[in-house]
Structure 1
Amino acid sequence: MRAPTILVAKGACDPGALVRRISSHDVYEFTDLTDVVGPARRAELIVIRSGTRLGADQLAALPNLRHVVRAGSGLDGIDTVLLDERGIGLHRNPEASAQAVAEWCLAALLCLARRIPLGAQGLASGDHLKAACTGTPLASANVAIWGAGPVGRAAAAILAPFVGEIVFAARPSITDLPQMPADDLPGWADVHIVALPATAENTALLDSAFLHAAAGRAPLLVVVGRLATIDTEACLQALTDGHLSGLAVDPVETADAHHFRTGPKPLNLLATPHIGAQRRDVRRRLDDWVTDTARALLLRPAAASVNELVDVRVRAAGEVASQLAEEYPSSSVWMTGPVACGFAHARSDVDLRVLFPAGPVPVLQSRIVDGVRVDLEAQAMAEVDELRGLLGQFHILGDDVDLFRTARRRLAALTVLRTARAPHHDGQPLLDEAERDVYRRWALADRIQHAISLVEDLDGLMQAGLTDAADLVARQLQTTVQQAENTAAGHPLLGDKWTPVLAAGATPSPPTGPLDQALRQARARLLAALLEVWPESAEPHGPVPSHRLEPGWLPQRYSDGWRIKRADATIRLTPGQLAAWQQAIHP
């Protein structure tokens, strides 16, 4: 019998990583499903990207399909109703690329405001259009953002220092952002950022009627969601007629390219082939997420039951959250802890955090829904804002570790915020991507520091001949190293019992060899975790003194650079010296 298959749409992820890590399945990359008819019949999982269609015809060719993995957020082209009818799971990562897309949004807006595309197109056609390239200042611009998902929120965060006022197009689901009725935005905004998914209600939402209403302000229009959300031809005509001052469009697929052929008249137009997420770190992160997700779905037979346990608890959380919204209309409710991260066991409770705009906060009692206990905790928003202040930047210097001490002391509370999301499936997280990245750095630095302390204890216990105690500490070191790897991969610190679960069953067994071997393995894994968060490309530089190769030395990364540490001894390293040290410990 031939092996089941994984299908990968070309460009969706690195198929080689799936081949290396999932040996039970054959992996096929495809441009069109008709090119892989046989493998499609055996496919249990398909990885797709924007532009891949999964309608009735395509799904009919995939009779054994169990999972669809979308390396991004968009659902356009996917028949989600038919997926539900067939019981096919849909797994997305809507946040991984949000910051990169927002970065593109900022770059595009700066280009439009300074009319750079117009000048470039003019020169390309032999015209010197300096006078026509007089720009407008962004500092006083009113910016309207259409769509409050991860990309819209990330765009607001990255644009905030450069523009005047930002509001979102009002929707009932938006409760925590400044907003304005959509009908009022054309007469108010100087800039429109469109970050909407391609749904029926959003199709051509910004149409000729919108353009007519906005013509008086001749705004800049930046599209980072889906092209279907605007009337493309109407927008291009408005740009030609001067009713738009500039147009930037990123989500241009192959079938859309004909709209943006250069015409006889230079325009302040920037169109790119859907490159918002095309950043190396984002692609690497998405590749890792796809591989980890596929492994968890295909290689863990208990995954379905775990999903059912989570589903029951999420439904209970949603029911209690609805009750709380009626009882405390000015508050916001967030699900936290393992269930919020998609993990539960048969006895798991659910944690809800209720945030109140002002104190004193009430004492809330736990509730039971369908046999599931929902624990409630009230918290003042001011306390949350104070905690989020620690997530503004990662800052540790050799002579200034006060902020690190504070972050370590508050790490449990920061982990609650890191796990917090709206209490329903695919709920919006409380923290934005930048804050989650700072949390990742604090958490990893904490685990590295803890590992250094454990190694010091281990050395002392072995010298004292306390082997039983040393064995216990060695197991703690093993757990700490795995937690460091988990945090480097983007997971929160959920507690020891969830450590192997977060690692998707990949936790190595504690080393059975000599202590030196265990320490060398820990050192190598900790360095790999640090380099995942702080990648280096420097060439090895200089000799490595032999004493630095002793297994008790562990790597650290502070804001001011690299160091290796053993007990109270610290040696600072340049990136080149680190590369030489890494090469020496991995001959």
Structure 2
Amino acid sequence: MKPFIVVPDGFDKSLFEELRKNSNLEVHPTSKVSQDELKALLPKVDGLIIRSATTINAELLALAPNLKIVIRAGEGTDNIDKTLCAEKGVKVANTPGANNNSAAEQAVALMMSCLRNIPFADKTMHEGKWEKNALTGLELWKKKVGIVGFGRIGQIVAKRISGFEPEIFFFDPVTEKCDIANSKRCLDLKEIFSECDIISIHTPLMPQTKGMINAELLGLMKKDAILINAARGGIVDEEALYTTLKDKKIRAAGFDVFAVEPLPADSKLKELSNLIMSPHVGASTEEAQFRVGEMAVHQINEFFMNKNLLNEVKGK
């Protein structure tokens, strides 16, 4: 019997058709199904290719006795219970690197939006106003930019903004060097939060980083400083963030990710005029979606046709 593959969260049409052309696999006819439809399909599923909309938890795994692999078309796997998958013999893989440039560009876009008040300028223009005097911004040129998490995405951000001649301060437990001129590794987050004009977060969400950016660190920031998070929700203590922005202790923040997504209707963050928000769209570019899909198609074919597991992800 052919392995049965389901792609529940949507997929580039051309890549989905390429996947279906594999005569050695049975692929569900559509590339997007509801959660109820997915639950009905799970008893016969051998492989899943998911994005962020599907959470692989105990409930779904209990319905999928034949499941052998889950591929996250993207990099973050916090929507997959990897420990339980390991207990059940289900392999987990992702598509590292495919989203990196898009995620980095989203961080830069939020950075510039905060510095130049672009969303507010646009809003008031559409309201028929001309609020020029109220929209004085700041330059990025020669600012001190702190990057928390200096892996692939953090380094891309540093490269993309290097033309603005910033001083780069970076914090990372592994990466020790930066090839960009005028850069410095910091061994203590307190140095970054007290020294930098702009701070951009690029760490994964894990037990060590959950709530890592807390009231103490936020309290060290300069009054005109800006905080950017296009990494993962939960890294920043949102209650502390709310208080910091409400009391105007920093200039602004730009967030693409939140502890609970979608953002709850009653979230206090919506009250803040100095918080620019986007709905976790860091990887939502046509180019990135094609790249993650291309990698996922290759990986599912390799796993079932050649017994080759690429980009396995382990841990919690």
Q: TM-score range by the shorter chain?
A: 0.7 to 0.9
In structure 1, the gaps of 5 or more residues are 308-341, 343-423, 427-587
- Contact 1:44–1:64 (CA under 8 A) maintained in structure 2: yes
Q: CA deviation at 1:226?
A: 0.9
Q: CA deviation at 1:85?
A: 2.2
Secondary structure of 2:93's counterpart equals: strand
- The 1-side partners of 2:33 and 2:157 are apart by 32
Residue-by-residue CA offset, 1:15-37 (whole Å, 9 max, x unaligned): 33322335531325455543233
Q: What amino acid maps onto 2:139 in structure 1?
A: P
- Contact 1:151–1:195 (CA under 8 A) maintained in structure 2: yes
Secondary structure of 1:186's counterpart equals: helix
Q: CA deviation at 1:250?
A: 1.7
Say yes or no: does 1:293 pair with 2:299: yes
C-alpha distance 43-299 of structure 1, shift in aligned 2 (>3 A): same
Output the TM-score relative to the length of structure 2.
0.84
Residue-by-residue CA offset, 1:119-171 (whole Å, 9 max, x unaligned): 33445567654333211121121111111232112111112222421122242
Which residue does the alignment assign to 1:24? 25
Which residue does the alignment assign to 1:8? 7
Q: How many residues align?
A: 302
- The 1-side partners of 2:52 and 2:108 are apart by 22
**Where do residues 463-542 of structure 1 align in structure 2 (5 Å cutoff)?**
none
Q: CA deviation at 1:187?
A: 0.7
Q: What amino acid maps onto 2:198 in structure 1?
A: V
Secondary structure of 2:299's counterpart equals: helix
CA RMSD in angstroms, aligned pairs only: 2.7
Q: CA deviation at 1:196?
A: 1.9
Which residue does the alignment assign to 2:190? 183
- The 2-side partners of 1:197 and 1:11 are apart by 24
- Contact 2:10–2:32 (CA under 8 A) maintained in structure 1: no
Secondary structure of 2:218's counterpart equals: helix
**Where do residues 49-448 of structure 1 align in structure 2 (5 Å cutoff)?**
49-123=51-125, 128-171=130-173, 173-177=174-178, 178-180=184-186, 181-214=188-221, 216-251=222-257, 254-256=261-263, 258=265, 259=267, 263=271, 267-300=273-306, 303-304=307-308
Output the TM-score relative to the length of structure 1.
0.47
Residue-by-residue CA offset, 1:507-533 (whole Å, 9 max, x unaligned): xxxxxxxxxxxxxxxxxxxxxxxxxxx
C-alpha distance 170-198 of structure 1, shift in aligned 2 (>3 A): closer
Higher relative contact order (CA 8 A, sep 6+): 2
- Contact 2:262–2:279 (CA under 8 A) maintained in structure 1: no
Secondary structure of 1:255's counterpart equals: coil
Q: What amino acid maps onto 1:292 in structure 2?
A: H
- The 2-side partners of 1:31 and 1:213 are apart by 46
- The 2-side partners of 1:88 and 1:22 are apart by 23
C-alpha distance 11-20 of structure 1, shift in aligned 2 (>3 A): same
Q: What amino acid maps onto 2:169 in structure 1?
A: V
- The 2-side partners of 1:233 and 1:118 are apart by 24
Residue-by-residue CA offset, 1:488-508 (whole Å, 9 max, x unaligned): xxxxxxxxxxxxxxxxxxxxx
Q: CA deviation at 1:297?
A: 1.1
- The 1-side partners of 2:18 and 2:295 are apart by 11
Q: CA deviation at 1:233?
A: 4.1
Residue-by-residue CA offset, 1:47-94 (whole Å, 9 max, x unaligned): 111243112222112111111111111121211112222232222112
- Contact 2:8–2:54 (CA under 8 A) maintained in structure 1: yes
- The 1-side partners of 2:53 and 2:216 are apart by 28
Sequence identity percentage: 23
- Contact 1:189–1:217 (CA under 8 A) maintained in structure 2: no
Residue-by-residue CA offset, 1:207-260 (whole Å, 9 max, x unaligned): 22222221x343111111012211234324422322221211123675216348
C-alpha distance 52-113 of structure 1, shift in aligned 2 (>3 A): same
- Contact 1:98–1:150 (CA under 8 A) maintained in structure 2: yes
Q: What amino acid maps onto 1:10 in structure 2?
A: D
Q: CA deviation at 1:99?
A: 1.0
C-alpha distance 57-283 of structure 1, shift in aligned 2 (>3 A): same
Q: What amino acid maps onto 1:291 in structure 2?
A: V
Q: CA deviation at 1:45?
A: 0.9
- Contact 1:48–1:69 (CA under 8 A) maintained in structure 2: yes
- Contact 2:253–2:274 (CA under 8 A) maintained in structure 1: yes
- Contact 1:142–1:163 (CA under 8 A) maintained in structure 2: no
Q: CA deviation at 1:182?
A: 1.0
Which residue does the alignment assign to 1:42? 44
C-alpha distance 36-117 of structure 1, shift in aligned 2 (>3 A): closer
- The 1-side partners of 2:23 and 2:243 are apart by 50
Q: What amino acid maps onto 2:44 in structure 1?
A: R
In structure 2, the gaps of 5 or more residues are 179-183
Residue-by-residue CA offset, 1:385-428 (whole Å, 9 max, x unaligned): xxxxxxxxxxxxxxxxxxxxxxxxxxxxxxxxxxxxxxx988xx
